A and B are shown apart, each in its own frame.
Chain A
Amino acid sequence: MVNRNASMFIAMAVLAGCGADPTGGPTGGVDVPHDGACPAALVVGLSDWMSTQIAVTKLDGITLSESLISTASTTASGVSYALSGDVALPSAAPPSGRVVLLDRFGTNVVTWVDPKSAGVVSQLPVGAGFESNPQDYIEIDGALAFISRWGQNASPGNEEHDEGGDVLIVDTQEPRIVGRIAMPSDDGLPPRPAGMARVGDEVVVILQRIALDFASAGDSVLAGISVASRSVAWTHTFVGLKGCGAPSLAPSGDRLAVACLGKLDADGNVADIAASALVLLDVTASPPVEIKRFPAAAIAGEAIQADAELVTDDLVLLKTQSPLGGASNNRVLALDLASGAATPLLEASPGGDGEGKGVVYGTLWCSPGCSDVCVMADSDAGVLQRFRVEGGAASTMQPLRVEETIGLPPRLVSAF
């Protein structure tokens, strides 16, 4: 009997050991009070493009919860996962104080999470039967939010709101889609709305205008949406610039910075560096007026990524674009807008063969007026890089590792 019991125990142990349990579960919520208009904490997205983990840190990057929610939060249904490997975060902190996740390609779902309980408050599919590829989320008031949908449906008409290339109007309480704002398109190119920013009574959205087959791209466009009329009030074309990213509003609210990458070829090289630049706009007027362009060739000697942070009215943190296997590595630069001088702050390490690892620097996030620390997701080193901004200059700080249980690299940063 003893032998039989032992055999059964061994057999059960073998069977149990051959199963699969998630490596690490959620580590709970955080109770961080809001301080006026400042965000309460940072949201860090860690991902290897197969699975995703969302951590919460203080504004200076110190970890509060390693895993607020992750792919492991529920067992996969087989059809989908709790979170896919392609999750985006809003480029502006939601005033609602919720953590908002945009599950993009293949899933097309918006998820609202209560950071205190780490529980999912609600979810809303925004796919409408096609790859809508939601890119950005911005709350308009306590009940409504805009969601930009980059995807363009080549054969709409099967479901409500299935056209794509638009900004969805979403009731965040129920939640449900209450309408859409079609983005303008011309030259046969879909609008490809991407990053958004709130500027007074308007929401500005970047239209990247990339063809369905990615073979061609038009000049990027900045579109202004009137929050009141929920329609496009104006557009501004960045003539000669392509692949522009999320607008960054200065602490004063008077200036807007837009970084443009240019048109990437299939190998990750920027075909024409002249199409890559940083643009500074005066947004006290509507439509905004370009103040100055800083060509990428002049400030970096190579293309810049479409993601820049306007830390002060005169200081921008930006990153360079480097192709996988190329001769250069990602760098972080501090650009003095007054002088046009760019100061290198950080450079990624090359691969073992001395070649570039491609884009390894993720989102830059600053909380001007709330924290003097900017953070950047560094998937190369697997850390949050930190920069202190003092006296109109930026300097590097000790990087921080967000978590060590799962080991996913940080790629995205947002706040709530």
Chain B
Amino acid sequence: MPGPPWIARRPRQRAIARGAVLAVCAPRRPKAAGLRRHGARHFYPRACQFVVLGVALLGPATRRVASAEPPPEEGKPIDVTVRAPPRHPSAASKDATVAASVVRGDELSAPGAGLADALRFTAGVQITDTGGLGSPATASIRGATAAQTPVYLGGVRINDDVGGAVDLATVPPWLLDRVEIYRGHAPAAADRLSIGGAVFLEPVRPRARGVGAGAMLGSYGSRAGFAYASLTAGPHQALVAVRAEAADNDYTFADDRGTHFNAADDREGRRSNIDVHVLDVWALGESRAGEGSLRYLVHHIEREQGVPKLALLPSRAARADFARTLAAVTGRAPIGEGAVVEAQTSAVIARTTLHDPLAEISLGAPRVDARGERVTQRLSLAAEAFGALALSPSIDASIERVRRTDEASSGAPASPTIKPLRASIRAALAARAPLVRPLFWQALLAVECHGTAAGAASLGCDELQPTGHAGLSLEIGGLTVYSSAGRYVRVPTMGELYGVSVVMRGNPRLTPERALAVEAGARYVTPLPGERRPLWAEIALFSRWESDLIGFVRTAQGYLLPSNIASARVAGLELDAGAGLVQGVAARLSITALDPRDTTEDETPHDVLPFHARLMIAPGLEAQWKIPGGAILDRIEASARFLYRAGHYADRAGLAVIRDQASLDAELRATGLHGHATARVRVANVLNSDRFDLVGFPLPGRSVFASLEATW
């Protein structure tokens, strides 16, 4: 049966790559067009996906072979033969010589699941969220704070310069192709080499013509509707998508009323003022001219939500409005043999308004408005020099402004409270070359300069910080052994320097947080004949020494003042592994053991850092059944992930302990009508166990979400 016309026109190319012949990947009928999950990735059998990705990442050698072929005749099918080792599922595209995880595919499209839910099972990652669909959530990687981890959307850093952390709920994952989590050492593509690695959220790339729409319904008033259209015109592709999502999140929890010693007054509480409404708009484009390309990304999100406080004493009227618009243009062009130059111009405009008419959340004002704007220019070059030496110099420059306005209680005209400005420039050089094949050395060295000023003061280079990492890697077949050591800094945010609110004061004397980190790991992958998943594993050991950490000192009147007061040492082990077990069934396991120690000199003998579970275990199973010759149903897939999180401390003295907990999520997906329709049902917290996030927010019990999506 012929597939949709925009697929039939896709030329088949012959590409012979390095490595063993693994498969002949003939095009298959797509289930949809336009989106990642309905686009190029599904044009091939699942067993070939890693091969296709591997080819895409093999670099100039592959391209040269491909370009030597005569141009394919339009509309005439040809066979594709790919020779390559399977791509390791956790090897990230920007640097395969550091510990990383990649979340992709259906993990990002589960109904009722946000980005935080998708990352929850990832090795080295711990999530803090206030509970419920669309609610604020942050990720801690290897015990780092969320502010220590830069997060990039389409290559553009979206950490604000107020709190520094990225709220993962502000990037609904439905249009993400993959999430690359660099757990320790960030790649050159990150404009900040910070303490907590880096997270890259990579949107889908428009591929073909088509439209789609869908809807989701679920527990606690969760509902969503979305639509997208993908267009092509010659070398130009574009994708426009919009999604509206809302949830009441009025789930119940065990309310002990704060009287731990009196069980008689316990009752069933219900979360309140935690509803959320999200509007999410995407525009993606790509234009090709010869071997060059231009990519466009516009993402706009608006979110209106309740600010719930802790469950014991919920707020009633505190609300928050958030809006962020991101726009980026990325140009890429070859400049001679083996050299590619890439330039990206981006702008991010964000606004957060907190409304506290009843003085419930201690803002000190009935309304606080924080706005931030940042413009960034990035220029990088990837080239081969002196034979096998790969060099990639880059320079990033940005200017950012933050404005905070506190509305006077009396209703007097609002006036800007703070208006600091920051200019940053970073020069970096990444290099990689064989030492003695197959042993390679690689290094990324950078110098960051940051100038921050409030008011009319001129900008200088207040902070000149060298950062970077260097290491060795050994590559033998499917085995990669790597080790790296690096120095990282986190420059205080403008919010920390000049204040977030009346309660969260600023401290202009803050200095950057610093860290030295080492890691060593091994990654192995080998195909399993007859299985759609290879046998793969990654193990990583790391240690990080942090100093001048910014903590909050409580002043006499209860205000919080940031200060460079703490130091820490975090060590750990991460294991991520998986394998195809029997036909169509695969298993996965990730284990994180963390030893986060507070090395601050104080009177408290207990030294385990709070709010970090020291053990997390996440096994999972997935299965796929294809329906041969099915007229309505093409394929059924099922998956389940279990997550165990050890109990953890919630204070520095080691007196407050939040008990261990476990949860099981399950999902069933059915694809039918020749790939034009997909139905999903997801049950979160199947066991209905009591769950709390790292700081104690009660999380929902058993929840059911269902979605239906149709594409043409």
Contacts and interface: CB of A to CB of B under 8 A. Distances in A.
Interface of A: 14-15, 17-24, 48-53, 70-82, 85, 103, 106-109, 111, 120, 122-125, 127, 129-131, 152-155, 158, 211-215, 264, 266-268, 321, 323-325, 358-359, 382, 405-409
A74 B261 contact: yes
A325 B409 CA distance: 29
Nearest to B554: A49
B104 interface: no
Contacts of A123: 258-262, 265
Given A20-B646, A79-B698, A405 B605 contact: yes
Contacts of A152: 359
A268 B556 CA distance: 7
Of A18, A130, A267, most B-chain CB atoms within 10 Å: A18
Interface string B523-558: 000000000000000000000000000000111110
Nearest to A214: B364
B604 A406 contact: yes
A296 to B, nearest CB: 15
Contacts of A405: 605
Contact of B657 (A22, A49, A53): A22
Given A106-B312, A268-B555, A48 B258 contact: no
Nearest to B316: A155
30 contacts: A14-B593, A18-B613, A20-B647, A48-B653, A50-B652, A71-B655, A75-B658, A77-B254, A78-B659, A78-B696, A79-B253, A79-B311, A79-B698, A80-B258, A81-B656, A109-B257, A109-B259, A111-B261, A123-B261, A123-B265, A130-B360, A131-B360, A154-B357, A211-B409, A264-B556, A266-B505, A405-B605, A406-B605, A406-B655, A407-B603
A214 to B, nearest CB: 6
Contact of B559 (A51, A107, A212, A266): A266
Interface in B351-371: 357-360, 363-366
B662 interface: no
Given A79-B698, A213-B359, A213-B365, A23 B254 contact: no
Interface residues of B, number: 68
Given A48-B652, A76-B656, A321 B260 contact: no
B232 to A, nearest CB: 51
The winner among B363, B561, B604, B657 for most chain A CB atoms within 10 A is B657
Chain A to chain B: the 7 pairs with minimum beta-carbon distance, closest first: A23-B654, A18-B615, A78-B692, A359-B556, A120-B261, A50-B651, A123-B259
Contact of B614 (A19, A131, A213): A19
Contact of B258 (A18, A85, A109): A109
Contacts of A24: 654-655
B557 A264 contact: yes
B660 interface: yes
Contacts of B652: 48, 50-51
B310 interface: yes
B30 to A, nearest CB: 45
B582 interface: no
A185 to B, nearest CB: 15
Find the residue from B360, B365, B557, B651 having the highest chain A CB count within 10 A: B651
Contact of B606 (A129, A214, A266, A407): A407
Contacts of A18: 593-594, 613-615, 646
A82 B260 contact: yes
A108 B654 contact: no
Interface string B258-302: 111110010001000000000000000000000000000000000
A113 B316 CA distance: 33
A123 B313 CA distance: 17
A19 B594 CA distance: 11
B202 interface: no
Contact of B553 (A125, A324, A409): A324
B665 interface: no
Nearest to A153: B358
Contact of A155 (B358, B502, B555, B646): B358
A71 B651 contact: yes
Interface of B: 253-262, 265, 269, 310-313, 316-317, 357-360, 363-366, 408-409, 502, 505, 553-557, 559, 561, 593-594, 602-606, 608, 610, 613-615, 646-660, 690, 692, 696, 698
Contacts of A77: 254, 256, 260
A48 B505 contact: no
B265 A106 contact: no
Contacts of A266: 502, 505, 559
Contacts of B603: 382, 407-409
Given A48-B651, A407-B605, A79 B696 contact: yes
Q: For B359, B646, B653, B657, which residue has the most chain A Cβ atoms within 10 angstroms?
A: B653
B259 to A, nearest CB: 4
B608 A131 contact: no
- Chain B binding surface SS class: loop
Contacts of A21: 657
Chain A contact surface mostly: loop
A125 B257 CA distance: 7
Given A81-B650, A154-B359, A213-B365, A22 B696 contact: no
A85 B554 CA distance: 12
A122 B262 contact: yes
Contacts of B365: 213
A48 B651 CA distance: 9
A51 B656 contact: yes
B593 A268 contact: no
A85 B650 CA distance: 11
Nearest to A122: B262
B358 A154 contact: yes
Contacts of A264: 556-557
Contacts of B363: 213
A15 B692 contact: no
B555 A358 contact: yes
B508 to A, nearest CB: 11
Contacts of A53: 653, 655
Contact of B260 (A74, A153, A359, A409): A74
B365 to A, nearest CB: 6
Contacts of A408: 603-604, 653
Contacts of A81: 260, 650, 656
B254 A79 contact: yes
Contact of B690 (A70, A72, A78, A321): A78
A47 to B, nearest CB: 9
Nearest to A71: B655
B646 A407 contact: no
A285 B146 CA distance: 60
A51 B555 contact: no
A131 to B, nearest CB: 6
Given A20-B647, A107-B312, 9 more contacts: A20-B657, A78-B659, A79-B696, A107-B258, A120-B261, A124-B259, A213-B366, A215-B409, A268-B557
A308 B18 CA distance: 82
B606 A130 contact: no
A18 B658 CA distance: 13
Contacts of A48: 604, 651-653
B163 to A, nearest CB: 19
Nearest to B658: A76
B299 to A, nearest CB: 34
Contact of A79 (B255, B359, B656, B659): B255
Contacts of A382: 603
A131 B660 contact: no
Contact of A15 (B253, B606, B615): B615
B604 A407 contact: yes
A226 to B, nearest CB: 31
B604 A20 contact: no
A24 to B, nearest CB: 7
Contacts of A268: 555-557, 559
Nearest to B358: A154
Given A20-B648, A109-B258, A407-B604, A80 B312 contact: yes
A127 B313 contact: yes
